[in-house]
Amino acid sequence: MSSNKSVALIVLLVALFVGATQTVYTVDETESGIVLQLGKPVGGIMEPGLHFKLPFVQNVIFFDKRVLEYDARPEEILTSDKKTMLVDNYTKWRIVDPLEFYRTLRTVNTARSRLDDIIYSQLRASLGRYTLGEVVAHKRAQIMEEVTKRSSTLISEYGIEVVDVRIKRTDLPPENERAIFGRMRAERERQAKQYRSEGQEESAKIKSQADKERALILAEAERKAQVLRGDGEAEATKIFAGALKQSPDFYSFKRSLEAYEKSFDDKTRIIMTPDNEFMRYMR
């Protein structure tokens, strides 16, 4: 008898526990809850806190209130100057109306698929109005603002708000990269040839100017040297003339000795008469 009471007590406790778990639920601060009865929402949106529901008849689904991120796969987009580019973008979004979200999309995966369609179409439309250079360098912030605003307007009917759309990376399709790199290489080679030609021209100018300055410097130096030599010879002549005036006989004798020294060497033979003027100091 006591064993039957124990079993009944255990069954009662289990039933109470199951009933409590099926009746009481909590909603986290980062979530919103929706109570479903036979698959249909009832009672509105459940805010964070402790709540009750009918056991076995009702169930609760939860949706994250925080900003979510969706990283889209890279897609090809054509710019206004007919350049194909591979765009890799991501989107920050959040659920602002869980009831509408559940009625229209049901799940986050479905929402991501719908986001992908809308944002890609808006990116394609916006980027198609700009050139490749503007997309890459100048207009990206403006384009992202346009895409975010339009995408948020279009997706709002699903209870979703698009917070931000950003391009992570823009690449060229593989078949276009080789052609563009080839054009870039040809352009760089053309510029290199131009720079080399300009450098050679500048080098010739510098060398010509240097040669001209060198010739002028040498000519000026030679002129000064000649002036100095002339001045020196004039001064030497002046000194020699002054000395000659003081003792003409001595300097005549000295010049004769110098002439003898240069004329009479081992292999020189001179035939002169004793009365020759050249030999007057030898008499």
| Residue-level pLDDT at 14 | 61
Q: What does pTM read for this prediction?
A: 0.56
Select 68-171's CATH number: 3.50.30.30, 3.40.50.2300, 3.30.479.30, 3.40.50.720. Answer: 3.30.479.30
Tell me the mean pLDDT per 10 residues along the chain, length 283: 64 59 81 86 85 82 91 86 85 92 90 91 88 81 90 92 89 69 84 91 91 91 90 83 71 71 67 64 59
| Residue-level pLDDT at 118 | 92
Whole-angstrom distance, CA of residue 93 vs CA of residue 89:
13
Where do the structural domains in the chain lie, given as residue ranges?
13-64, 68-171
